[in-house]
Amino acid sequence: MQGKRGAASAALAVLLVLGAAGCGATDGAPEVPVPPRPAGTGPLTKDVVRADVDGSVAVAGLPRNAEDYGRHSDEGVDAPEGSGFGGSLPGRCLLGLKSFHEESAPVDLSRYDKLLDALREREWQPVGERRNRAYEEVVNLSEQSFRQRGWLLRTHFRLQGERGGVITLNAYDEACVGKSGIRREAP
């Protein structure tokens, strides 16, 4: 019996590796490696969260991370306005992404919706209700927060007139933030 299980497990592992590599994909979607989810209920590593964010951005067809903004994930940064944290965040505690509109990859509300769907598919759980603000019946601001295994992920879409939209994601390792002595501001 153990031999059959071992063979089945090996076959499943091969399928997962081939699937993650994108072999046979013909739909033109970007190939996005999907790392295996760590077993159990413990906190996710920053690498897994980064893979979730990068994979979700690729699935939504959004432009890559703005270089200056992504640098903060390694170096740390003063807590962004609206993040709920006061003080400086060490790079190990956070992950950030900002995607600006490009002619070849527009940033609009439909791509933001795809991004949120992709995060849910990666087991990110919405926190509270999604908030939308509209002007003349056009949504120009949308926000949704998520949580998963020790991380808080805040997403924002903002329409910037003729310049198109911008999407921002900020993820915080809540235990790391707490150990760093950063104060949590009231929501």
Q: What is the DSSP string of 19-34?
A: HHHTTT--S-PPP---
What's the mean pLDDT when you consider all of the chain? 75
Using 50, 70 and 90 to split pLDDT, how confident is the model at 29?
very low
The secondary structure of residue 102, as a DSSP letter, is B
Q: What is the pLDDT of residues 131-178, one digit of tens each?
A: 999 988 889 999 999 999 999 999 999 998 778 899 999 999 998 887
Amino acid symbol at 36: P
- DSSP, collapsed to helix, strand or coil, labels residue 81 as coil
Using 50, 70 and 90 to split pLDDT, how confident is the model at 71?
low
Q: What is the pLDDT of residues 106-140, one digit of tens each?
A: 899 999 999 999 999 999 999 999 999 998 888 99
Q: Are 120 and 86 in contact (CB under 8 A)?
A: no
Helices (H), 22-124: 46-60, 67-75, 109-121
